[in-house]
Every structure is written in C-alpha cells, then in structure tokens.
Amino acid sequence: MVNFDELPIAKPASATLAYGFLAGRTQDSFPDKADEVFVAALAGGKMYVAYGEIEPAVQVPACTVVRTDYNKKADAAAEKLERKQITRQAYDKLGDLHQQGEDAFKRCFTERAPQQPAFAAATRQAQALLEAAIGK
C-alpha cells in the first residue's frame, strides 16, 4: 500500500480528528495512479478506519513521463556498463536512476495531483466514506 497524497477532508462534527489519503497497491514499484482512498477518524472515543476504491483513479500523466525518462536513462547506463562503454566508477556516479525516477514521480504527483479533476472527486468519495463509517 502506497500513500500518494493527503486528501483535504472535512472533520465531521462528531469527530475529534480525521485524516484521509489517496492510495494505490503495489508489489514492487510505485503505481502510476491512485485508485483507493483511506480515511480514519476518532469519534466518540472510537477509532474508525475505512477504505475503498475510487472512480476515476487519480493520475498525472506528466509525472509518469518523468519517471519513464529516468528509467530509460537507467537502462541506457546499465547497457553501457555491460558493453564496457563506461566504467563501474562512472556508472556508480550516476546514482540509482530508477530510485531517482521514483522520487521525482512522487514529488511531481504531490505537486500536481490536487489540480486534477479526479482529485476533487476522490476527496468527495473519501468524505462520503468517512461519514458512512462513523454513521453520520
């Protein structure tokens, strides 16, 4: 489970705190889109946690392009190393390009996702899920 970004949900009147976030499931690399929401609230001395799939998923194609570019650079560098066109030292100086791509994708997504129409829809869905969970 990957936390993509916090959602600006409103705290229900009966709750002392509430939190929601966009999520996606993965076995290895960071997913390209968030297709679930998780919400939690403390109300009446009880902790409530709920999650559900969202439609549409929140995605930022420009961020996927950023990651793809890093992955292409990583693959090209690995191929050059394998063909002995660059030294191990030169290759190591590049750093982990795949990880750099993942980090760049995360930064991009956090910055740009709130401007996506699907982000507003996800926030509404998370709010409804939270209110249903605490029985409002």
Report the mean per-residue pLDDT for the chain: 94
CA 111 to mean position of chain CA atoms = 11
**pLDDT band for position 136 (50/70/90)?**
low
Residues 6+ apart with CB under 8 A from 107: none
State mean pLDDT over 48-74: 96
Q: Residues 68-110: pLDDT tens digits?
A: 999 999 999 999 999 999 999 998 888 999 999 999 999 999 9
Do the Cβ atoms of 53 and 63 come closer than 8 Å?
A: no
